[in-house]
Structure 1
Amino acid sequence: MDFQLPQIQQWCRKVLTARFGATLSTEEMEILWASVVTSTLLMGMVGCFCGGILSSKLGSTLLLFAAPCFLFCRMAWSIELLYLGRLSVGLALGLSLSVIPMYLAEVSPLKLRGAMGVLLPLGITAGVVLGQVVTLDQLLGDKDLWHFGLGIGGLLNFICFVAYWWMPESPEYLCSFKNNPEEALKVIRKLLGQNSVDGALEKQIRTGFGIAQKSKGLSVRDILTDGKYRLPLALLFLMNAGCGLSGINVIFSYSVSTLQRIGINSNDAKLFSVGFGCINLAASSCGLFLMDRFNRRPMMLISCIACGVTLLLNTTVIYFINEVSWLPMVSVGAIVLFLLSYQTGVGQIPFFIGAEMFEIEARSSALALGTFGNWLANLIIVMLFPIVQHLWGAFAFLPSSIVCFALAIFVYFYLPETRGRIVSDTALLISKGFKSHIR
């Protein structure tokens, strides 16, 4: 919504004046807008704890409900509909993002688990780029069409909603919670081919059926109070929070205003922002080939350190921005390097690492806590970055740089390698908490 901010705020002023005779000051408008943005984040934090087998379908339903709210809020002169749409989007995303990584991991063969895990952040990145393009002033971003730009996501979600009904159930879920190994074998053959189930795999599934019958999903409280989950929960929560605090949300949520502060005019700033989105998408696409060819642990380490270094570089450049005429382009280059660094690890691995560390009985609750960490980080950025930017100026990116370096240290000491390992082996490796020997 960064591109449409002036148009939507202008509309809000007109609505409040026409309906209530109220005229908002700049500070009051900033408070109103902050409440619009944070409503989505708060509902996302609620939604991530409402996961379940219907979460992805319900998430799409809520997104379909949000689309007409956005489409009709301008015609109805209703800020309430704008809020309702934002609340629906937040709840839908919270529901979906806590379930999709789990589903992708459970339907993926071991050798493709990393590439499949990348599909979620890749889809998010593609959605960001699409949103940037359609909300340009030349398309659906002007004062008369901005509501169509907000509601266009409903078309994509309708397609996804229809497709959900043909998606197979997770074989692990069918065995562990539905007590149906026959259906699990049928799904595996459907996903991987008729010859994918050999005698050994079939015996393994049927032998494990008696154990699976005893499996029960653990609640958030259960895993928080069980010592063997202490380290994996800390890893999952901090990696997801680090993903949100790393600076990516600053770059895209405040891209236009940040670029304007370094001397780039408004129209060019929007085009630069779209360019950043395209580079981010291209870098994210590379994850499809990287994740199953390189180990998770070194990729995460390199990504954290590189993100911290590029943010420090950008901080230095912005501090001296008025000294040399070509420094704004160096700042743009630093942002590009940050995006490339981010998508090699920090921007992808946290989304699926939880499904590689937690066995199925704890997976749903653990992923909910991890997703909560990401939403909480986003809320912190939205609430505090404008204040930090106002008070610290050129040093506004410094906290994100520190977060990246701190996350690198934590990953170095505690993150085990999960590539090529079955989940039970990884879970056993980190079951002794912070005393675990990960190497």
Structure 2
Amino acid sequence: MALQEENGGMSGQQKGSPRTLVLMVTSAAIGGTLQYGYNLTIMNAPTVYIQKFVNESFQRRWGIQLESYQVTLMWTVIVSVFSLGGLTGALLAGPMSIHFGRKKTLLLNNIFLMLSALLAVTSQKAQSFEMIIISRYLVGINVGVSMNVQPMYFGESAPKHLRGAVALSSSVFTSFGLVLGQVVGLREVLGCESCWQYLLASNAVPGFIQLLTLPWFPESPRYLLIDRGDKDACLNALRQLRGCEVQKEELDEMLQEQAEFEGRRAQRPWELFKDRNVRWQLISIAIISSAMQLCGNDSIYFYASYIFQEAGISAEHTQYASIGTGTCEFTACILCNLLIERKGRRMLLMGGYVLMTGWAIVFTVALSYQDVVHWVPYLSMVCVFAYILSFGIGPAGVTGILPTEIFNQAARPAAYMIAGSLMWLNLFIIGMIFPFIVSGLGQFCFVPFGVVCVLSAFYIGLFLPETKGKTLPMITNEFNKLNFDRNKNARPKCENVYYQLGEVQHSTAL
């Protein structure tokens, strides 16, 4: 009866504000996934200046004049070490989110960011390009942690009917960071030769904003109840985030997951590989997380100048063309945010990759004829914009929320570690070879990415169930059709847990 009294007492209370959830999302994302987009694009503007700085450093120290390919190689190392940092952050995200909680992990994560900014702003004065490499590695750790922990925080804090839209706001802020980084990187702002070190250190500003604002918001209610067993703190967090009474259905669902989690510890990544119950969930996030980078979209931001030069755009116009790429993804992510609870995750994800396949084909044709027809280079640029727009409509946002929706509380941190590790590893690989793909394949540079897109669309259409508006048990039952299809007798017994106010009843069924 105690729980009944508590739940009944909630119904008449109007604590907090309905704006609290929106403000919490904004605070977490400004210092979180915004940093991913921002740190992708701020490296594009100072490309020439940093390459010159590296070359001068070799001349000054060792009297070596680097060849063009050696400068390109050093530049790809500086760019791609960000991905290695992200891989490290993805591996740290799981243990940190379990030990410290979602909110505190995001706050502690700013330590890496501030160290990175300090190294970047002092690198030129210290005459050390190695400090830039270390700086990029540290900011990569920061981004790798936030890219995994922030979707967990949002997915566990949002009500079911807003779960997709709130989780998808991570990608909206990522794309906003892309645009913001491109604007700040303009030659008229911080993209000039005398300010490039301040441009690299400017990522500390969003971190400071998060440090000042996020402590005022609650921890994830599911983490408080399921991981910490603190029911009172969970109820208080729910009241604050909802701004009204806590719905019985929402609380019952959390209690059911708590009962299933009771007596169990969080799973390790290697344990997921051995667990047949999550075999196809794991395959799905592995394929979709890898496709997010192997489709080549994020590499466009690293090497926008290479792509637009290949498309025939003059050097003085490339910085403005680059802003257009970020604006396209930002617009598409907002559109995806509006559509995700109407059209569903599966349709947006598959549709995005189908459209990307089509635009990759058009882009290849356009590059093949850019020397024949004078307006074709601009068609090539439009294809790049459309490719990014298609990416933003589905893959950019939906990919990040899938582990929250298809894994339970025990497996979720490990699932994010695996998904994040694959994402960053593939970003590193693509980041290292992308300039050589562009120079080696020429007009056919987007053919490999088109192949990845079409294969991803086929997989999603054939194997990924829709998760919109479904509870975790419903989604799990959909995956069990794949996990145990060949040997139905191997299906485990499912424990049906029925909850009433004031008591918990258990029954077991096949």
Q: Letter of the 2:63 partner, please give it.
A: G
Task: Report what 2:227 is aligned to.
Answer: 177
2:184 is matched by which residue type in structure 1? Answer: V
Assess, with a 3 A threshold, how the Cα gap between structure 1 residues 240 and 176 changes in structure 2: closer, same or farther: same
Moved more, 304-313 or 376-385: 376-385
Give 1:94 deviation, angstroms.
1.3
CA distance in 2, matches of 1:207, 1:236: 25
Q: Is the CA contact 1:129–1:278 (under 8 Å) kept in the aligned structure 2? A: yes
User: Quick check: 1:49 aligned with 2:91?
Assistant: yes
Q: Map of 1:27-106 to 2, 5 A cutoff?
A: 27-51=69-93, 52-53=96-97, 54=100, 55-106=105-156
Moved more, 354-363 or 365-374: 365-374
Contact kept? 1:175, 1:213, Cα under 8 Å: no
- Superposed displacement of residue 38, structure 1: 2.2
Output one character per residue of 1:130-161: Cα deviation in whole Å (capped at 9) or x when no partner: 11111121221111111111111101111112
- Residue 162 of structure 2 corresponds to residue 120 of structure 1: no
Alignment pair present for 1:266 and 2:266: no
Which of 185, 198, 208 is matched with 1:135 structurally? 185
**Out of 439, 442, 446, which is 1:393 matched to?**
442
Q: Which runs of structure 1 show a deviation greater than 6 angstroms over 4 or more consecutive aligned residues? A: none
Q: Does 1:21 align with 2:71?
A: no
1:435 Cα deviation (Å)?
Answer: 5.5
Q: Kindly state the Cα deviation for residue 236 of structure 1 after the two structures are TM-superposed.
A: 0.8
> 1:292–1:239: structure 2 CA closer, same or farther, 3 Å change rule?
same
The answer to whether residue 452 in structure 2 is matched with residue 403 in structure 1 is yes
5 Å matches for 1:340-355?
A: 340-355=389-404
**1:175-208 deviations in Å (ceiling 9; x for gaps):** 211111221111111111232344x555665576
Structure 2 partner of 1:357: 406
Where structure 2 has 5 or more consecutive residues not aligned to the other structure, the ranges are: 1-42, 487-510
Report the Cα offset of residue 305 of structure 1.
Answer: 0.7
Quote the offset at 1:348 in angstroms.
1.2
Output aligned runs, 1:145-294, within 5 Å: 145-198=195-248, 201-202=250-251, 209-294=258-343
Contact 2:77 2:432 in 1 (8 A): no
2:267 is paired with a residue of what secondary structure? coil
CA contact (8 A) 2:120 2:135 kept: yes
CA 1:329–1:140: 2 relative to 1, 3 Å: same
Q: List per-residue Cα deviations over 1:91-138 (Å, max 9, x = no partner).
A: 111111111111110001011111111111111111111111111212
SS of equivalent to 2:394: coil
Percent of aligned pairs with the same amino acid: 25
- 1:324 aligned to which of 359, 368, 373: 373
CA contact (8 A) 1:279 1:339 kept: yes
Q: 1:189 to 1:155 in 2, by over 3 A?
A: same
What is the RMSD of the two structures over their aligned residues, measured on CA atoms?
Answer: 1.8
Partner SS state of residue 215, structure 1: coil
> What amino acid maps onto 1:392 in structure 2?
L
**TM-score between both structures, scaled by the size of structure 1:** 0.95
Q: Distance in 1 between matches of 2:69 and 2:387?
A: 32
Distance 1:204 1:163 in 2: 30
The 8 Å contact of residues 109 and 146 in structure 2, kept in 1 or not, is answered as yes
Provide the C-alpha distance between the structure 1 equivalents of 2:403 and 2:388, rounded to a whole number of angstroms: 23
Shift of 1:46: 1.8
The CA distance in 1 between the partners of 2:88 and 2:276, in whole Å, is: 25
Separation in 1 of the partners of 2:251 and 2:320?
54
Q: String of CA shifts for 1:379-423, please: whole Å, max 9, x gaps.
A: 121122222222221001000001000001100111000000012
Task: From the superposition, tell whether residues 386 and 173 of structure 1 become closer, same or farther in structure 2 (CA, over 3 Å).
Answer: same
Gapped regions of structure 1 (runs ≥ 5): none
Question: Partners of 1:161 and 1:347 in 2: how far apart?
Answer: 26
Q: Report the Cα offset of residue 30 of structure 1.
A: 2.1
Amino acid at match of 1:90: G
Q: Distance in 2 between matches of 1:203 and 1:91?
A: 37
Moved more, 397-406 or 54-63: 54-63
Give aligned pairs, total: 436
Bigger Rg over Cα: 2
Closer, same or farther: CA 161–294 of 1 in aligned 2, 3 Å: same
Contact 1:359 1:424 in 2 (8 A): no
1:2-48 per-position Cα deviation (integer Å, ceiling 9, x unaligned): 22110111112222322343332222222222222222211211220
Could you state the TM-score of these two structures normalised by the residue count of structure 2?
A: 0.82
The worse-fitting range, judged by mean Cα deviation, of 160-169 and 305-314 is 160-169
Cα 1:202–1:225, aligned 2, differ >3 Å: closer, same or farther? closer
Indicate how the Cα distance of structure 1 residues 188 and 218 shifts in structure 2: closer, same or farther if over 3 A, else same: same
TM superposition shift of 1:436: 5.4
Q: What amino acid does structure 2 have at the position aligned with 1:30?
A: T
Amino acid at match of 1:41: S
How far off is 1:250 after superposition? 3.4
Query: Separation in 1 of the partners of 2:255 and 2:437?
Result: 57
